[in-house]
Amino acid sequence: MAIATSLSKPRLSEGMSRLGTESAFEVLVRARELEAAGREIIHLEIGEPDFPTAPHIVEAAAEALRAGWTHYGPPAGLPELRAAVAEDAGRRRGIAIDPSEVVITPGGKPILFFTILALIDRGDEVIYPNPGFPIYESMIDFVGGHAVPYGLREQQDFDVDAGEIIGHVTGRTRLVILNSPNNPTGGVISTEGLARLAKVLAGRELFVLSDEIYSRLIYEGEHASIAQFPGLKERTIILDGFSKTYAMTGWRLGYGIMRPDLAEKVAQLQTNATSCTASFTQIAGIAALRGDQSCVDQMREEFRRRRRVLVEGLNRVPGFRCRQPRGGFCVFPNITGTGLKSKTLADALLNEASVAALSGTAFGAGGEGYLRFSFANSLENIEKALDWVGTWAQKNL
C-alpha cells in the first residue's frame, strides 16, 4: 500500500483566509529560538503581568478542586461568581448591574469573539481603534464585517478623537469598539470624550463593545466606562476579567456585562463553543473579587515605578520619543527619529541588541512609527534592556 508522504492543503472555509492573529506570539517564538541557541534575551514583548497569582486565590482553586468543583457548570457561569462580578463591576463604575447581565467566559477574549459573532453580519460596519488589539480587526474581517479604523494620536496622549469616531458612524454601523486603557498605547479615554461619544451613540441603533480589561491598571485618575452615561448601559457590552487585574492570564477567566437578552445569546454561543468556563477557576474568581485587593494595588505600584524608569530611559535613546502611558503595562514610543520602519527596528533590537519588543504595526497599520515595550518585567531587566538598546543605538543610528 502506498504511504502518502505529503498532504495536499485542506480546503478551508472562506473566512479562514481573512482571520488574523497576534504577532506577539511569533516574536516570542523567535526570542525562544535565540535563547535555545544560547543567547540571553530580555522579554519586553510580553502582554501579561510577571507577578504570580496571589496565594489566597491559588488556595481557593486548590480547595475547590478538592471539594469536587470538577464538573460542568451553567454556560453563563456559576451564579455566585456572576453575582460577585455584578456587585464588583457595578460598584467600581457606579452603575447597577444585575447578575443576569453577566456572562463568565474562559478569558476576556471570548466576549469579543462571541459579541462579534452575535451582532455582525457580512457588510456591517464596525468602528475600531487602530493601533489596537489585533484581534478586533481579525474578528471583524473573519465574519465578513467592514472594519472602519479610527486613530489614536500621540499628540492627544493617545486619547480617542470623539469627533473622528462620530464622523465614521453611518446607517450600517452596528458596533463601535472602545478600549480604555488601551493596548498598545496606554491611552485612557477622557470623561469628556466618553460624554461626547455617549451623546451621539445613545440615539443610534448600534452597540458599543467597551474593552475594559486594563481598568484596574490606571496610574492617574479613575476608570470611567461609557456604560455610565445616560442611555448607554443597554447598548454597551463591557469586556473585563481577571487576566491582567489579578495576574491570572493562564487561568482563562473573564466576563462580559450586557443586557440580559444579549447575555442569553452569548451564553448560547458559549454552549456551542466551550460548554462553560472551568468550575474551580470560577470559585477562585469569587475569592479574587471578594478577597483582599492589596495584591492588585501592590502590582499597580510596582508597574508605576517601572513605567517611570522605562519612559525616562527610552527618552534618552537617540531617535526615540516616549510618553508616560496613563494605564496598562506598555509604553508606545515614537521611533520615527531613528529613520527606520517599526518592524525593521523591532527585528534589529531582537537580533542584535537581544531585546524583544513589538513593532507598532503588530497593532495595525496605525502603529507604524512606534514600538511597544512592556514593563511586565523586573526593574533590573528593564534597566539592562535600556542599556542594551542604548548601546545598540549608539553604534547603529
Given candidates 27, 57, 213, 218, which one binds ligand PLP under the rule CB under 6 A?
Answer: 213
- The CB-of-215 to ligand PLP minimum distance in angstroms stands at 11
CB-based closest residue to ligand PLP: 107
Given candidates 124, 125, 211, 302, which one binds ligand PLP under the rule CB under 6 A?
Answer: 211
Which span (27-35, 103-111, 170-178, 225-233) binds ligand PLP, by CB under 6 A? 103-111
Instruction: Choose between 128 and 229: whose C-beta lies nearer to ligand PLP.
Output: 128
Given candidates 23, 100, 249, 274, which one binds ligand PLP under the rule CB under 6 A?
Answer: 249
Determine, following the binding rule CB under 6 A, whether residue 212 of this chain makes contact with ligand PLP.
Answer: no
Instruction: Choose between 229 and 363: whose C-beta lies nearer to ligand PLP.
Output: 363
Determine, following the binding rule CB under 6 A, whether residue 183 of this chain makes contact with ligand PLP.
Answer: yes
Determine, following the binding rule CB under 6 A, whether residue 158 of this chain makes contact with ligand PLP.
Answer: no
Applying CB under 6 A, the site for ligand PLP has a residue count of 13
Determine, following the binding rule CB under 6 A, whether residue 360 of this chain makes contact with ligand PLP.
Answer: no
Determine, following the binding rule CB under 6 A, whether residue 77 of this chain makes contact with ligand PLP.
Answer: no
Determine, following the binding rule CB under 6 A, whether residue 53 of this chain makes contact with ligand PLP.
Answer: no
Determine, following the binding rule CB under 6 A, whether residue 108 of this chain makes contact with ligand PLP.
Answer: yes
Given candidates 75, 254, 256, 369, which one binds ligand PLP under the rule CB under 6 A?
Answer: 254
Site string for ligand PLP, 287-326 (x = CB under 6 A): ----------------------------------------
Nearest to 379 by CA among 318, 313, 297: 313
Measured in degrees and rounded to the nearest 5, phi and psi for residue 346 equal -60, -45
Determine, following the binding rule CB under 6 A, whether residue 145 of this chain makes contact with ligand PLP.
Answer: no
Determine, following the binding rule CB under 6 A, whether residue 23 of this chain makes contact with ligand PLP.
Answer: no
Q: Footprint of ligand PLP on this chain (CB under 6 A)? A: 47, 107-109, 133, 179, 183, 211, 213, 241, 243, 249, 254
